[in-house]
Amino acid sequence: MTAPAFLDEADVDHPGWRRFALSDPTRFNTLLGDMRYRIDGAFARVRMTPEHRHSNLRDHVHGGALLGFIDVSLFAATRGFGLIVAGTAVTLDLNTQFIGGARIGEAIEAQVEVLKETGRLIFLRGLVVQGEDEARIAAFSATIRKPART
């Protein structure tokens, strides 16, 4: 029997949150570091804490790291909502507007909302925020194609 592709388990260090990671540490997602999520009503909240390796020369979070975080957040959110289980769903499009710089060493949060689900597609939108005041870092919208039924 093969190991599941994802680890999706209660995070004992952060009550109410779930730890979300690939079980294979050699995959891209692990570059983002520890990620966790929780469902709050109509929104999934997905968090990571950016490190120096995620920084640009201005000592903010690099735009590529933010895009990677947003993309992985889409899948954490849809898994959290019970819309996908398998690991073979794909991002069809991801539109992002960068609004402000994100600080290194302080958690960022993607607040993800499902707009609509069809037979094969999931339409989502959200914001990336940081800090107690939830300063807006980026806005995004995306479409995921669910895995083929086997």
What is the CATH number for 100? 3.10.129.10
25 falls within a domain: yes
DSSP H or E run through 44: strand 43-48
**Beta sheet of 43-48, edge-to-edge order:** 6-10, 18-22, 35-40, 43-48, 108-117, 121-130, 135-145, 90-98
Residue 49 lies in a domain: yes
Report pLDDT digits (tens) over 105-145. 999 999 999 999 999 999 999 999 999 999 999 999 999 99
Using the predicted structure, report yes or no on whether residue 87 has a pLDDT greater than 70: no
Name which residue leads in pLDDT, 144 or 6: 144
Please check whether residue 128 is in contact with residue 70, taking contact to mean a CB–CB distance below 8 angstroms. yes
On whether residue 89 sits in a domain, the answer given is: yes
| Residue 123, domain extent | 6-145
Domain assignment present for residue 16? The answer is yes
Say if 101 falls within a structural domain.
yes
Lowest mean pLDDT among 3-7, 70-74, 87-91, 130-134: 3-7
Phi, psi of 146 (to 5 degrees): -70, 155
pTM for the whole structure: 0.92
Tell me whether residue 1 is in a domain.
Answer: no
The total domain count for the chain is: 1
